[in-house]
Amino acid sequence: MQALIFDCDGVLVDTERDGHRVAFNEAFQKHGLDVEWDVEQYAELLKVGGGKERMKHYFDQNGYPEEVNDQEAFIKTLHADKTEIFMDLIKSGKLPVRPGIKRIIDEALGEAIQVMICSTSNVKAVTAIAETLVGIERKKRMKGIFAGDMAKKKKPDPEIYNLAKTTLELDPKQCLVIEDSRNGLLAAKAAGMHCLVTLSTYTIHEDLKEADRIVPDMENDGEPLTLEDLKNLII
């Protein structure tokens, strides 16, 4: 194994339901919008990769406020406010890291395997999760964070994984990606990488047949996955 690559939302922390969704709704409220995404509606919206893209899809379908003249600027402003709200939630420490994540990162770093994060979420938010929840010392030892607008195309497009592959000169056949969604799984596979899926709140019923393995989390209901287990997926 040359590299162990983590998605962020739903993998490091199960943030979608009680993090991003809440932050979107607070941003809508701040701007006086009569919009609130409930749990089921947000599950559908998650089929669109990227926060700005998700909001654009919603407002394209449901209409923009009458006073909005510049739709792109409107989305950017909303997303900036949403990101700040989300970061405050992360810094509060109320969202726990998913089981086994810190342990498996430490095992990989201990064997000099390159560890990184590849996400289509905002890079500031991903960095905040890595530093505040996963741990700043672990984050310092990672090879990098590839996120947000570093990639023009969002998952399931493989651009964010291809960026990491090219930047760090990785052999994709020696890389294992940890994902939680079909979009992420397809992105990893399109980049030629192996993929383990850890199920999260919104992805438990998705079609994940292309995954090399599917588990509830890294602790796997009392049978914790080891680094050797992960290495065996790329042999």
Q: What band does 34 get if pLDDT is binned at 50, 70 and 90? A: very high
User: What is the CB neighbour count within 10 angstroms for residue 103?
Assistant: 15
pLDDT of 47 higher than 90: no
Arithmetic mean of pLDDT, 116-121: 94
pLDDT of 232 higher than 90: yes
Specify whether the CB–CB gap between 9 and 127 falls below 8 A: no
**With respect to CATH, is domain 3-14+96-232 assigned 2.40.270.10?**
no
pLDDT in tens, 84-107: 999 899 888 878 899 999 999 999
To which residue do tokens 């739903």 refer? Answer: 10
Domain ranges across the chain: 3-14+96-232, 16-91
pLDDT of 121 higher than 90: no
Strand locations in the chain, DSSP E? Answer: 3-6, 114-119, 144-147, 175-179, 194-198, 213-215
Q: What band does 226 get if pLDDT is binned at 50, 70 and 90? A: very high
SS3 73: helix
Q: Which helix (H) or strand (E) holds 214?
A: strand 213-215
User: 150-172 b/e with 16+ CB inside 10 Å = b?
Assistant: bbeebbbbbbbbbbbbeebebeb
- 16-91, CATH topology level: DNA polymerase; domain 1 (1.10.150)
DSSP letter (8 states) at residue 220: G
SS3 7: coil
Specify whether the CB–CB gap between 177 and 193 falls below 8 A: yes
Phi and psi angles of residue 160, each rounded to the nearest 5 degrees, phi first: -65, -35
94 versus 195: the higher-pLDDT residue is 195
pLDDT in tens, 202-221: 898 999 999 999 999 999 99
**Which active-site residues does the annotation give?**
7, 9
